[in-house]
Chain A
Amino acid sequence: MWLIRACASIQARHMGMADMKSPAPAPSTLQRMRDSDIWYSFKQSPITIAAAVVTVTFFLCALLAPWLAPHDPFDLVSMDIMDSFLAPAWSIDGDPRFLLGTDDQGRDVLSAIMHGSRVSLFIGFASVLLALLLGVGLGLWSGFVGGRLDAFIMRVAEIQLSFPTILIALLVNGVLRGALQIEQQVHLAYVVLILSIGISGWVQYARTVRGSTMVERNKEYVQAARVIGIHPWLIMLRHILPNVTGPVLVIATIHLAVAIISEATLSFLGVGVPPTEPSLGTLIRIGNDFLFSGEWWITIFPGAALAILVLAVNLLGDWLRDALNPKLR
């Protein structure tokens, strides 16, 4: 969504500029995108198109859940305990009102999934953004300055890498919860989740960006900027940053899938979002209690939704990595 909007605004700006200044406008951004190798490789891969369709569908459902969802799973008034444990609509015990059945409190599973994806995607995006800012910033700084600072940041990164991600997230989570008051915790559940997933994920960005920065920093265009006397911070931001972001986009896409899984895992373990505002992970945990009593749909459908979403995002990331890799073109 934001990508399309950004492109549209860039294009609008570009066209405006072209109209005013140059008599023969260069091809517009949209045109150039359509001619690009990326678009070509996208069109060539049916799996990627399918993955993109699935991802976009999830995004739309999540974003428009309050309007699209057949029921409001948070509205206690509309819920009826008599509707609880209804099987999916197509089975004998099904109710046509609830396509994927209901849970123990009579909540519509489909609506819960739509609202749950909203929470999962929000936390996923926010923690990816945090990890990205942290990782790109530290990686850029570390690679550009080098020396002791670089050694220090990279040792910290290596130490963190020697622990499993989920353990780090649990650790950060535990520390933050310990430091906060009980009543604050409910409000801050999102913040705690985002912080813990974000902090556990910055290393990969930092290492990649540091590597590319060390290559770019020695290139002659950076030396040219230094000869002009541009401030090192500006050289980092304006010259090097735009040239090291390609691989970051790939990592971010794959990391989005990881972040969604991490959130689900944390919620499943009971340290995530509260059951009153369920994410996909919370839904799976709730349903898990009823799996062996025959109400399989309560956990299987959110689980399947999570698997499909993560698979689609991962496939997109894989494709992006190959499409941006000049060696594989």
Chain B
Amino acid sequence: MAKQSPTADPILQVQNLSRVFDVSPPWLNRVIEGQPRQLLKAVDGIDFSVKSGETFSLVGESGCGKSTVARLVVGLYGPSTGQIIFEGDDIGGLSRREMAPIRRRIQMIFQDPYASLNPRWRVKDIIAEPIRAFHLAHGGAAITARVTELLEQVKLTADDGQKYPHEFSGGQRQRISIARALASEPDFLVCDEPTSALDVSVQAQILNLMKNLQRELGLTYLFISHNLAVVYYISDRLAVMYLGRLVEVGPARDIFKNPQHPYTRMLLDTIPDLEMSGRERLPVAGEVPNPINPPSGCSFHPRCPFANARCRSEAPQPRMVGSTAIACHGVEENRIIEAAPVANGR
């Protein structure tokens, strides 16, 4: 992976970030049926930082809060506590007006190519919207020229701008979505499962395109995915998320080669074996618990084969082990039995 070496200074720093959603039943029901308020901690005090020019991935199963983190970073949600620091400024909870100059620099690519483009707009208007909103080009001719340039950048043609989204396939729509995200000339792209709705051959096209664009434009990616193979291919560093918390953060290569946290190991063990090596795998136990009532202590303890009394009562804090930060009492106490590494860089 000889990529432009990411510079050392972080472009984005997330500190003790939390987001709580009120999922209570309506007020009247609470009063009449005596139901308590219900709070969902979608993101629960996470820290990470993204270096300029790198791809930082968040991996986890559905409901772990990774999409909430994406929406917090782009300002679709405000944080409940904690800071989101973009180039030294805390951008968490800014008003729409205060956020405007930063919005141009942080854009987002969405998961569902069928829902992320307004079906009533022509493609050229969809891509021109950020250009007009941020006054990046003036006059019809200049805007048209810029739209054409963007369409060609994502390997579409100028004529495609005249069409409506329904005339395109899923992969082409995702290209349009990328062109719109690039229209404001951002530095930082938040990609929320950009390929999970696509077929594999199209996924490869989009991933290659994203890598090329990163190299050409010096973009930084915050990449959200549940697909470990995709994450392995695209990431420089990654964070594994479970029930709103980060369990392991570090360089992608190190984590894939030597996963430490029992949850990371379990996840890596679920990757289907395309090599058909007949490798025996640990059986995966249990399911993700209800995030409204997360387990006490380490939230992974009910599924963890190494859990003990401390894991059930005390939430582990991240500790650095080599290059990775791991939140696990077992790793700290050195009682995780060494299992065969999953990916040896075959």
Contacts and interface: CB of A to CB of B under 8 A. Distances in A.
Contacts of A74: none
Contacts of A239: 118
B105 to A, nearest CB: 11
A23 to B, nearest CB: 9
Given A22-B159, A22-B162, A228 B119 contact: no
Given A229-B103, A243-B118, A26 B162 contact: yes
A221 B110 CA distance: 9
Interface residues of B, number: 30
A223 interface: yes
Contacts of A221: 115-118
B159 A224 contact: no
A245 to B, nearest CB: 9
B25 to A, nearest CB: 14
B12 to A, nearest CB: 15
A219 interface: yes
A227 B115 contact: no
A225 B127 CA distance: 11
Interface string A12-50: 000000000010101000000000000000000000000
Contacts of B133: 228-230
Contacts of A228: 103, 107, 129-130, 133-134, 184
Contacts, number: 56
Given A22-B159, A226-B76, A227-B107, A220 B115 contact: yes
Interface in B91-126: 96, 99-100, 103, 106-108, 110-112, 115-120
B301 interface: no
Contacts of B107: 227-228
A228 B183 CA distance: 10
Given A225-B129, A228-B129, A220 B100 contact: no
Interface in B26-59: none
Contact of B110 (A22, A26, A224): A224
B116 A220 contact: yes
B163 interface: yes
A48 to B, nearest CB: 25
A242 interface: yes
A229 B107 CA distance: 10
B116 A224 contact: yes
Contacts of B96: 229, 231
- By Cβ-Cβ distance, the 9 closest A-B pairs, closest first, are A220-B116, A220-B110, A242-B120, A229-B103, A221-B118, A220-B115, A219-B115, A228-B130, A227-B108
23 contacts: A22-B162, A221-B115, A221-B116, A221-B118, A223-B71, A223-B76, A223-B108, A223-B110, A223-B116, A224-B108, A224-B110, A224-B177, A227-B74, A227-B103, A228-B107, A228-B129, A228-B133, A228-B184, A229-B96, A229-B99, A229-B103, A230-B129, A243-B119
Interface of B: 71, 74-76, 96, 99-100, 103, 106-108, 110-112, 115-120, 129-130, 133-134, 159, 162-163, 177, 180, 184
Interface of A: 22, 24, 26, 219-221, 223-231, 239, 242-243
